[in-house]
Amino acid sequence: MDWDMDPFVVIAFGRKVFRTRVIRHSCDPVWDEKLLFHVRRCETSFKVQLSVLDWDKLSSNAHIGDVYFDVNELVRHAPQPDKDTGLYPVGGEEGEKGAEGMREYSLPLTTAKEMRWQARYNPVIRFRAKYQPYDMLRQRFWKQYLAQYDTNNMCALSYVELRAMLESLGSTLTSTTVSSFFTRYGKHPHEDEISIERTVMCLEEELGGPVREKKKRIGGNGDAEEGEDGGLNPNPVERVINIKNCPLCHRLRLNSKADMDIVTHLAVCASGDWNKMDKIMLGNFVTARQTQRELYTKALERVGWWDNRIRENSANVVIQNRMTGQLEVEKIQVYDWLGIRLLGAWSGMEGGQARRLLKSLSIKHDIKYDDPGSTKEIPAFIEFHGLKMDEILDPLDSFKTFNQFFYRKLKPSARPMECPTDPYRLISAADRRLMTFATVSEATQLWIKGREFSVARLLGEHYKAEAERYVGGALAIFRLAPQDYHRFHSPVEGKVGAMIDVEGENYTVIPQAIRSAVDVYGENTRKIVPIDSPQFGRVFMVCMGAMMARNIKMTVQEGEWVERGQEFGYFAFGGSTIVILFEKGCVEWDKDLLINGRALLETLVQVGMGIGRGKQFLSALPLRSPSM
């Protein structure tokens, strides 16, 4: 290229964001850096995004281009364990950077807009990547670490060598347990040696054993296990490893975790460069009785990371897109900024003037966006939010007002339903930012900070007598942003009960407001709709208007039987929320949603996507059917 650049790369995978160093004055940079990150089972369908940017000291960094690749492709090509032994094939690494098993990638950079230089230079980014199962990493760690105690280099360990290795890890395995490593293969503990491969198999078996089956360490040949305060633990159990701090990344309080998690952590840290394993001495990180030793190595060649501060009451709203796994910063509309300002440092919204102002703004926007002249704002709205026009059912020129476009219908193929024949699979009610909590009390501890919030207040006067049935029950919060598909659907099948309107305010429902002292959910305008479901019991859907959104339209009738995924209603322009309540023990949320909920991170989901599973419903409610 014919200009100067200071490029760096940002790597994003799910909620994890990293960056390389900046290479000054280069149009053909070589970073030669290594990155390791965890991949949960629920993340194997995610993509990794690599964004190339041009660093600028004074102004914002210039975006050059992006590439994506599927993690699932690496998972499919991952090594497989031996069916008989469970051991993975672990060979030597090629060089100090560990290139063995790496897949080569050379991907063209794509830009948001066509650049003049793109066709001329065809820029690409080259890198190597591989996926390693945790079991494989642990086995590699064991083999590397055990080799340090193999004094005769015969790939086998004596009883003394094995006990020395375990002592260095603070292990509390009894002599009986260690001797069983030998006897199960017909070996005599104090006369024979056991191969490193068999030792790895025994150690992995011990790691995976249930805690209830581990023997209490009463007597034995070693010292009693130390407690957290340095005293003796009165009820010690056998542990394969018991180190307090990680000797590689210096993470604290590792001994509060399960043995398997500790070894996995060490294996991940060590995998940054297996050739440094022979320099690691763990003694200084176990207990006071161990010999003092110096740490010789550091963990990983880090590439740096960005802290998005998702839990802060900051101006940005950070969400995770469940379809891609990427973190996204939500674009905030002007009226939501106004709503935040009116909250006044996230509290103090009790003022009558503020209430009147919000209602006045909402009424004016209703009138404005129902006017035929409002259609001129549709193109700018589409461009600002990057809407997918190929998903919309009706042609653009068929919308006579902006509000008609706002609650547009989508093509049936745009939102397929997960598990269409399984009525116990709970599906998403809307295209929304979702928070799920196992119980209402958990939601109030972590997310809903309104001083006066309660289930009884949320359900209003008509249904407050039923609030006791939802003590200990699960709760989901679906928050719609203006760019979302604003029709909502039934998450379960069942019979629609009496629909009750509750007049109220129009506070914004973005996270900063929900985490303020104002009871937004208990004060906003809402429509309360029960659904009596054979699989989930009585489910309450509380459909709530928010900033600028007062009109809640239902497309079902009281007494009507609805199917999962059937359209339920829609919101006119503005922000909105649906709160769904379940009785205790009726639903179990998908694990990734619970993890994000406890991390105070909203998850972007779509209509029809599976979000939980119903349990056998045993309430006294009579079961409804379509014929009733």
Contact indicator for 254, 123 with CB cutoff of 8 Å: no
User: CA 409, CA 394: separation in Å to the nearest integer?
Assistant: 7
- Active-site residue among 374, 489, 516, 519? 489
Residues 611 and 427 sit within 8 Å (Cβ to Cβ)? yes
Active-site residue among 66, 336, 431, 532?
Answer: 431
The helix or strand, by DSSP H or E, that contains position 70, with its residue range, turns out to be strand 62-70
Strands 602-605 and 317-321, bridge-based pairing: parallel
Q: Residue 432: which H helix or E strand, with range?
A: strand 432-437
Q: Please give the Cα distance from 148 to 146 (Å, whole number).
A: 5
Say how many C-beta atoms besides its own lie within 10 A of residue 2's C-beta.
7
Q: Half-sphere exposure of 616 toward its Cβ, with a 13 Å CA cutoff?
A: 1
To the query of whether residue 32 is one of the catalytic residues in this protein, the response is: no
Q: Work out the number of other CB atoms within 10 angstroms of the CB of residue 399.
A: 18
Pairwise CA distance, residues 434 & 607, whole Å: 11
CA pair distance 176, 52, nearest whole angstrom: 57
Crossing angle (nearest 10°) for helices 196-208 and 259-270 = 130
How many other C-beta atoms can be found within 10 angstroms of the C-beta atom of residue 125? 20
Structure tokens at 244: 């307090």
The first and second tokens of residue 464, run together, are 């407050």
Bridge partners (DSSP) listed for residue 48: 69
Dihedral sign of CA atoms 516, 521, 522, 526 in order: positive
Whether 431 sits among the annotated catalytic residues: the reply is yes
- Taking alpha carbons only, the member of 537, 532, 538, 539 closest to residue 617 is 537
| Closest among 16, 123, 128 to 64, alpha carbons compared | 123
Q: List phi, psi (to 5°) of 202.
A: -65, -45
Q: How many CB atoms lie within 10 A of CB 579?
A: 24
The torsion of the CA quartet 508, 509, 515, 516, rounded to 10 degrees, works out to: 20
| Active-site annotation holder among 51, 516, 576, 592 | 576
Are residues 138 and 200 in contact, defined by beta-carbon separation less than 8 angstroms? no
- Read off the tokens for 439: 């119980």
Q: Is the dihedral of CA 401, 406, 407, 411 positive or negative?
A: positive
Nearest Cα to Cα of residue 571 among 547, 606, 603, 605 = 547
**CA torsion, points 603, 590, 586, 499, in degrees to nearest 10?**
30
Q: What is the rounded distance in angstroms from the CA atom of residue 114 to the CA atom of residue 66? A: 13
Q: Name residue 552's beta-bridge partners.
A: 571
Task: Please count the other Cβ atoms lying within 10 Å of the Cβ belonging to residue 72.
Answer: 15
**Identity of the amino acid at 253:** R
Q: Helix, strand, or coil here: 589?
A: strand
User: For residue 560, which of 569, 549, 573, 550 has the smallest C-alpha distance?
Assistant: 569
Cα(397)–Cα(405) distance, integer angstroms: 10
Catalytic residues, which ones? 431, 489, 576
